[in-house]
Structures are given as C-alpha cells and as structure tokens.
C-alpha cells in the first residue's frame, strides 16, 4: 500500500469515528486531511513508512477521494471542460470547447459503481436492473446520465454534462460572436414584449445557454416558473420557482412527469413559464399554457427552425388519439411567435443561425412563416420580411 492510501484510510477512519458527512462539511474534511498529511510526513521521517511525496499534491488527491469524486474531480473543477463521459472504464473522454478528447484517466468497474453511487447519493434517484437509466443533477448543477447492462452491451455508460454559463445575457452572446448586436436587441424587445419563443438545435448547440441569456430581458418584477426533467436553468431573477421531475419509487409509485409539472406550474401564479425541453406529449400542455395568455419559452431538438416548427406540430399528437392535427396546427400558429435555431460547428463554435417568425395564419395545412435573420456563413444577417408558406409534412393532415 502506498503512502497516499495509508493516509486516506486514516482520514476515513477519523471521519467514521467523528460521524462527519464529507458532503456537508468539506472545510472540516480539508482540515482533517491537512492535519493527517502533516502528521504522516513527520512520522515517515523517523519510521519505516513509504515516502509521501509532495504534501500539497497528496493532500489534494486525498481530499478529492474523500470529499469529492476522486480522479474525476479535477475534470469537474476545470472550467474549460464541458462534458465528461465514458463507454468503458478504461477510456474517459471530455469535451473541451466543443471538441472531444481522450484523457489519461482509467477506472475499474468497481470504481465506476462507487463513483456513480456517490453521485446519486444527494439526488434521491436510484439505478438498478428494473431502472437501468438514471438522470440526475449533481450538487454543482452538472447533469448526470447513466445507463447500465443489459441496456448497454457490457459496461456502464456514464455522461456528466457540466453547465458552464459562458453567457449570462444577450450582450455576453454578442461579445462571444454567437449573436449580432442587432439580433440581440430584437430578441430583447421580443422577450420584454411577452412573445412566445422556441429555441432549437442539436445536442450541445447551446440551447440552454441561449434560454438563460434570454431571461436577462425578462422584467425584474415578473414571477418565473421553470419546469425541467433535471435542474439546469439558472434564472437570475429573485421571484423564480424551479420544478423538476421525479422518478417512481421501488413500488413503482410517486413518479412526477413533465406534463404534471406544467399543469402544476399554472397554479403558481406565473408571469412567464419556461420549459427546459419538450420531447413528447408535454408539448401539448406547453401550447395550452401559451394559449392562455401566459408568455413562455422552451427548447427542442431539431435540425433547423422549420424542422423545429414541424416537430412542435407533431409531438402533441403523442398525447392521445383525440388530439388531431386540425387542432394542433392553428394552436401552434396562434401561440408561437419566434423560433431561434442554434448550431455548433465541428470546431466547437456555437452561434444562432436562424430566427424565424411564425405567423398566425394556416392555409391548406401550411403555417405562414417569415425568416427574419439568417446566418450567411460569416454573420447573422437581417432579411427582408417575405412571408413563406411552410408545409408541415410531419403532421398527418
């Protein structure tokens, strides 16, 4: 056993004897680690003990192992790393500035299970054969997703998506080159005016960042209610309520889906509703909320602004057989005002590529739309207001 492992065992024994919870008292754990390292360093000078090496580095490693997530903690603390994942314990990848890299970290199956168990401890969510997927939030706001065999082929597949708020406002996005000043001013006016916005894009394109940036234009006296599967949004307003879904318990009861949260949010006197992401039938409840005069914003996965509009006209059909396209199309046309599409280049640059205005007219199964801003490969350019009739072929008409 090496010196670091010896000191770590001593620290863990002290923690057990004193009944300390490392997650609740990190500063106290730090003091215990520093004291244990200093004591071992003195003992190693007069006894036949393994050499500890650099005390500061040893103390950091022990503290990460005891109070953090061990070898993953430096990756979680690195502000340049956006996501951490592995498909096999021997290969840990990270995403830095939108580009993936293979790290030198290697884990074992036992270590992976220990780390995941520690990550899920504060979330109250479980992972077992009957529940082979889990979606949870870590204490720092990072989003954890785990899939285990036999859903995966052999090893546990783990993703940790860190929410790095590089842009807290539309002005920040302008400075980053993700948006032009003209488009930012336009969007700020739209949000302040209470328009309903949908942000679309692929995974990692910056949809959540865009949604957070748009909240900088929300009035300071507005009451905002956010609804998410797992907490990710960080609305910088005092009067904000955040709601997240809940998984069923061991008996299969107690589940709270996104649809239920949207309905409950309407009973909380919101001035504005924000749905983190619509994937299925909850899109119907969001449209109904927007149709009640309540301004709303949400995100959706899509290839373009037009595809996002098509998807929003299709997803509500999953709510039941009694929901038809004849009801959904005019509802989308009357409720939704703008679609903002975000993209990420292979080099990792994220920017807004389209801003599409949705008209209120539906003719022969088409919704009238207008492309207001379009990226030309260099910048986001304002376009002349030319109405288009967008055929929603994804919805059965």
CA gap 190, 355 in Å, rounded: 12
Tokens in use for 14?
């002290």
Q: Residue 275: which of 336, 192, 344 has the closest Cα?
A: 336
Q: Residue 178: which of 335, 379, 9, 384 has the closest Cα?
A: 379
Q: What is the pLDDT of residues 231-270, one digit of tens each?
A: 888 888 889 999 999 888 777 788 899 999 999 999 999 9
State mean pLDDT over 185-198: 95
CA gap 113, 368 in Å, rounded: 52
Tokens 């997650």, residue? 23
Question: pLDDT category, 388, cuts 50, 70, 90?
Answer: low
Average pLDDT score, the chain = 88
Q: What is the pLDDT of residues 151-164, one digit of tens each?
A: 998 899 999 998 77
Q: What is the pLDDT of residue 393?
A: 45
- Higher per-residue pLDDT: 347 or 89: 89
Domains and CATH numbers, the chain: 3-68 (no CATH), 73-161 (3.30.450.90), 170-391 (3.40.50.300)
Percent of the chain's residues with pLDDT above 70:
96
Instruction: Report phi then psi at 130, rounded to 5.
Output: -80, -20
Q: What is the pLDDT of residues 76-89, one digit of tens each?
A: 999 889 999 999 99
Q: What is the DSSP string of 170-235?
A: HHHHHHTTSS-HHHHHHHHHHHHTT--EEEEESTTSSHHHHHHHHGGGS-TT--EEEEESS-----
Question: pLDDT category, 386, cuts 50, 70, 90?
Answer: low
Cβ contacts of 236-245, under 8 Å, gap ≥ 24? 236/168, 241/265, 241/268, 241/270, 244/137
- Higher per-residue pLDDT: 98 or 14: 14
Q: What is the pLDDT of residue 104?
A: 94
């Amino acid at each position: 056993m090496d010196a670091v492992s010896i000191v770590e065992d001593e620290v863990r024994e002290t923690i057990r004897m004193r009944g300390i919870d490392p997650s609740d008292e990190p500063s106290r754990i730090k003091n215990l680690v520093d004291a244990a390292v200093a004591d071992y360093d003195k003992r190693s000078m007069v006894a036949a003990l393994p050499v500890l090496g650099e005390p500061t580095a040893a103390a950091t490693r022990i503290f990460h192992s005891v109070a953090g997530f061990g070898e993953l903690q430096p990756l979680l603390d690195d502000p340049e790393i956006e996501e951490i994942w592995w498909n096999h314990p021997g290969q840990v990848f990270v995403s830095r500035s939108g580009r993936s890299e293979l790290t030198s970290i290697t884990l074992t199956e036992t270590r992976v299970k220990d780390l995941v168990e520690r990550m899920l401890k504060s979330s109250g969510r479980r992972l077992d054969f009957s529940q082979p997927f889990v979606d949870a939030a870590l204490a720092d706001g990072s989003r954890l997703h785990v899939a285990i065999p036999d859903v995966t082929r052999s090893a546990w597949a783990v993703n940790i998506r860190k929410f790095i708020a590089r842009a807290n406002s539309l002005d920040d996005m302008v400075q980053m080159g993700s948006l032009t000043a003209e488009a930012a001013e336009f969007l700020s006016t739209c949000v302040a005016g209470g328009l309903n916005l949908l942000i679309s894009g692929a995974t990692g394109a910056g949809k959540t960042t865009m949604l957070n940036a748009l909240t900088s234009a929300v009035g300071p006296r507005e009451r905002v209610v956010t609804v998410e599967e797992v907490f990710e949004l960080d609305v910088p307003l005092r009067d904000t309520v955040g709601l997240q879904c809940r998984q069923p318990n061991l008996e299969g009861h107690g589940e709270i889906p996104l649809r239920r949260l949207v309905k409950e949010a309407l009973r909380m006197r919101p001035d504005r509703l924000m749905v983190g992401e619509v994937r299925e039938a909850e899109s119907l409840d969001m449209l109904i909320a927007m149709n009640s005069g309540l301004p709303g914003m949400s995100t959706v996965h899509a290839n373009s602004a037009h595809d996002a509009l098509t998807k929003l006209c299709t997803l509500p059909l999953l709510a039941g057989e009694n929901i038809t396209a004849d009801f959904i199309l005019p509802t989308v046309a009357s409720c939704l005002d703008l679609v903002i599409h975000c993209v990420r280049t292979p080099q990792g640059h994220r920017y807004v590529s389209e801003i599409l205005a949705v008209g209120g007219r539906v003719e022969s199964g088409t919704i009238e739309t207008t492309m207001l801003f379009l990226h030309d490969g260099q910048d986001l350019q304002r376009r002349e207001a030319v109405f288009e009739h967008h055929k929603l072929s994804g919805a059965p008409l």
